[in-house]
Structure 1
Amino acid sequence: MTNRILVTGGAGNIGSELVRRLRARNADFAVMTSRPGGAPAGVAEQVGDFLDPASLRQAFAGVDTLFLLFPLAPDMPRMAANAVAAAKAAGVKHIVRSSGAGADAGSEAAIARVHGEIDALVSASGIPFTLLLPSSFMQNLVTVYASAIRSGALYAPRGDGAVAVIDVRDIADVAAEVLANPAAHAGRSYTLTGPENLTDAQMVSAIAREIGRDVRYIDIPEQAAQDAMTNMGMPPKVIEWLMSLNHVIKQGWAAGVSPMVEEIAGHPPRNFADFVRENASAWSDGDAE
C-alpha cells in the first residue's frame, strides 16, 4: 500500500526536522515550496502556494498523507480553507495538522480560537485526520529571543506563568511516526509538551548559569509589548494572536505536561537543561565568540 507524503512548512522549525526524519526512514515524500528550487537539496518538491488554490490542487495530486503547517500570518484561516478544499479535490487520504496546544474554536484567547477554527475545518473535511497540538518551542530562545538574551535581558509580558516548552525535534519525532502509519492515529488529537513546566525567569536563569553571564527576565506591561510589536511592523492580527498567547501563559493556563511524546515517539521528551547545553553558543556575546 502506497503512502506518498507531502510536507508543507518544510523549511521551518518543525518542518526542517521532520524532513530529516523522513529522509532517515527512506519515506516516499516531497516538500511543498512556493518557488521552484525551494526544497532542501536532494528532496523532491511540489510547487504550491496556500493563497493559490489551483497550485495547491496540483501540488496535492497523488498525495496520500498531507502534513499541514501554516505560517503565523494574517491570511492563515484563508490558507487553511484553500488547503482543505484542495486536499478534498485531490483525493488526499489523511491530513496531519500541526496546530497549537489549547486550540479551541470557542476560546476567548485569539490564538487558541484561530487554531481551533482551523482544526474544526480539518476535522469536518471528511478526510481522516490527526491533530498535533504542541506547546511553545524551546527553539524560540535561539531564534526570536537570542539577541535579547545576548544583551543580558529578556523582556516579555508573561509574569511568572509557566509552560512545558517542547523541543521541536520531539514534535518532528511524533509527526514522523504519525505520517508513517496515519491510519493508527486517525481521529486523534495529541497535545505535545516538554517534561516540565518552566517560567521565563527559570529558563533565563538556566541559560545564565550555562553561559556564565548575568541574564535577567524582565516582566513588562502587555501594552508595552504590543507597542513594541507594532513598532516592528508586525500585522495587527498577528500581534493579537501573540498577545493572547502571552496572556494565556501569564494567567497560568498554558501549564501542564503531556505524556504523548513518549507514548508515540517511544522516548521521553527532551529536557530544557540538555537543550541549553547544546545551544549555549547561540547566547554567547561577541567577546566569548
Structure 2
Amino acid sequence: MTGNTRNTTVVVTGATGRTGRRVAQAAQAAGLTVRPASRAQGFDWAERSTWAPVLRGADAAYLAYHSDIGTPDAARAIGLLAHEAVSLGVRRLVLLSSRGEERARPAEEALRESGAEWTVVRAAWFAQNFSEGPLVEGFRLSGELVFPGGEAREPFIDVRDIGDVVAGVLTAGDRYVGQAVAVSGPRLLTWAEAVAEIAKATGRELTYTAVPARAYGENLIGFGVPPEEVEFLVELFESLLDGRNAYLSDGVRQVLGREPRDFTEFAREAAAAGTWKV
C-alpha cells in the first residue's frame, strides 16, 4: 500500500466487535473503503471456506481473532488466513495483539512468516471492557465489580485510539511495515481507581472486590462458561494481571502525534450515554 488511500479497500474482521467497529469507523474517516467481515457478513474464523470471498480484491486487512489471540488455536488460524490473504493479493495485514501476553507471540510469529507486509498493534487492557461485555452487568445489578485484578496498575486504553492507530498505520505507506506498535492509555490506574472514576462519573456508589483468579474461574463455571475456556482465562489472568503491564507505551503518540484519550474522558462519555444505569 502507498500513502494514497483512494480506492484502497481494507477488510475489517470482527467489524461488529469492540475494536473492529472503531477500526471500521476510523478507516472510513481516513478515506479507506471498509469491507466488514463478521459472522453477520458470512465470515467465520473457524470456517476457512468463508475467508476467500471476503479477502478477494481487497488491499489490506485488520485481523482481530474472535476469542483471544493467546488461545491454542489462534496461531494456526491467523497463519492460515494470512497465507491465504497474501495468495489472493492482500499483502498489507495489521494484527491486534495483547501487550504483555506471552501466549500471543506464536500468533504474531505466524503472521510474520506469512510473507505479508505486516504490522502488529499490541494493546493494553481496554477501557471499554468496563462498558461493553460481561463486566457491565455487575455494575448495573449490584454496583460491584468482582474481578481478579488485585492491586495491579494498568494503563487502560480507549479502543477508539486503537481504531485511530490502525487507520494511521494503514495510511502511512510502508512506515510501520515489519513493526510492532505498543499502545496504552496516558496513565496507570488500579482496578479500584478505575471503578472509582466510573463511580464519580455516574454519581453512583460502586465498589471493586478483588478475588483470586481461581475463585473468579469458579464463578465463570457457574455462569455456564465451558471448563476449557475457564482454565485458559484463569491462567491468562494469573499472568497478565501480575503487574507486568504497569508501564506506559507511546504508540498512540508515535502514530497519531497526540496523547491517548484519558480514562476520565471515557468514563464521563459512557456515563452520559447511560451505560451503567440501573
Same topology, TM > 0.5: yes
Q: Which residue of 2 aligns with 1:230?
A: 221
Q: Which residue of 2 aligns with 1:148?
A: 138
Q: Does residue 282 of structure 1 match 2:275?
A: yes
Q: Does residue 137 of structure 1 match 2:126?
A: yes
Q: Which residue of 2 aligns with 1:70?
A: 65
Unpaired segments of 5 or more residues in structure 2? Answer: none
Structure 1 residue runs of 4+, over 6 Å off? none
* Matching residue's letter, 1:15: G
Name the CA shift for 1:149/1:257 in 2 (closer, same or farther; >3 Å): same
Q: Does residue 55 of structure 1 match 2:53?
A: no
Name the CA shift for 1:225/1:54 in 2 (closer, same or farther; >3 Å): same
**CA deviations over 1:19-58 (Å, ceiling 9, x no partner):** 11222233133112334xx4xxxxxxxx433222233123
Structure 2 distance, partners of 1:77, 1:64, is 22
Name the CA shift for 1:249/1:122 in 2 (closer, same or farther; >3 Å): closer
Unpaired segments of 5 or more residues in structure 1? Answer: 39-46, 104-111
Q: Which residue of 1 aligns with 2:105?
A: 116
Q: Which residue of 2 aligns with 1:107?
A: none
Contact 1:248–1:254 (CA under 8 A) maintained in structure 2: no
Q: How many residues align?
A: 266
Q: Which residue of 2 aligns with 1:42?
A: none
Structure 2 distance, partners of 1:240, 1:166, is 26
Match of 1:92 among 90, 93, 108: 90
**CA deviations over 1:236-269 (Å, ceiling 9, x no partner):** 4432342233223442112110111012122210
Match of 2:21 among 11, 16, 23: 16
The Cα shift of 1:182 comes to 4.4
The Cα shift of 1:124 comes to 1.1
Higher mean displacement: 72-81 or 270-279: 72-81
Q: Does residue 211 of structure 1 match 2:202?
A: yes
* Matching residue's letter, 2:137: S
Q: Does residue 270 of structure 1 match 2:265?
A: no
Aligned-pair identity (%)? 28
Q: Which residue of 2 aligns with 1:126?
A: 115
Give the alignment's Cα RMSD to 1 decimal: 1.9
Contact 2:76–2:107 (CA under 8 A) maintained in structure 1: no
Name the CA shift for 1:184/1:152 in 2 (closer, same or farther; >3 Å): same
SS at 1:218 equivalent: strand
